Amino acid sequence: MRAIIFLCLFLISCLPAVRYSNITEKRIPKEAKPSDLKKAIINEVKNHIGTLYKKGSDGIKGMDCSYFTMIVFKNAIGLNLPRTTSEQFKLGSLITDYDSLEVGDLLFFNTTGEIASHVGIYIGDGLFAHASVSEGVTISSINNPYYRKRFNGAKRIIESK
């Protein structure tokens, strides 16, 4: 399974990537194309695969799901997301249909009884990256029955033009 995940990430990232880690603005630069931003997000996700899970951590000894999404967006495109899943859920445009997902959309799940208690980043081909309690930062399928049952919608943070 891991070999398939890494193969998918490799194939998605074969094109040259544009990194925006030196952007300090809180908004996406107007000159950046959505496709470039999405490639940067995929490349940043790959940097964190295998990082241990640690609730409430600052990333040094591990990270939780909302820290993972926050740090990916900050490092990849210079966009500062809020620290918590519930605050991230307040951002962007709501998407409720799996078929409308785009790379970079935030996926929200109810894993503890709250509408948005877990978050991940859609990376294409039915896969999303997230910080799992049991596996750390990993890639999972949105078609996995566990996640499909708990899916509460997605938010588009990067608008396609």
For the stretch 31-50, pLDDT in tens is 566 688 899 999 999 999 99
* Strands 127-132 vs 136-141: parallel, antiparallel or unpaired: antiparallel
Domains and CATH numbers, the chain: 2-156 (3.90.1720.10)
pLDDT of residue 28: 47
Output the DSSP codes for the chain: -HHHHHHHHHHHT-SPP---TT--SSS--TTS-HHHHHHHHHHHHHHHTTPPB-TT--SSS-B-HHHHHHHHHHHHH-----SSHHHHTTSSEEE--GGG--TT-EEEE-SSSSTTSEEEEEEETTEEEEEETTTEEEEEETTSHHHHHHEEEEEE-S---
pLDDT of residue 58: 74
pLDDT of residue 31: 57
Say which residue the tokens 């964190």 belong to.
Answer: 48
Tens place of pLDDT per residue across the chain (161 aa) = 444 444 344 434 433 333 223 223 334 455 566 688 899 999 999 999 999 999 988 777 899 999 999 999 999 999 999 999 999 999 999 998 888 999 999 999 999 988 899 999 999 999 999 999 999 999 999 999 999 999 999 999 987 65
Q: Which residues pair with 124 in a beta bridge?
A: 127
pLDDT of residue 47: 94
Q: Which residues pair with 107 in a beta bridge?
A: 120, 154
For residue 86, the Cα-to-chain-centroid distance in whole angstroms is 15
Q: What residues are annotated to the active site?
A: 65, 118, 130
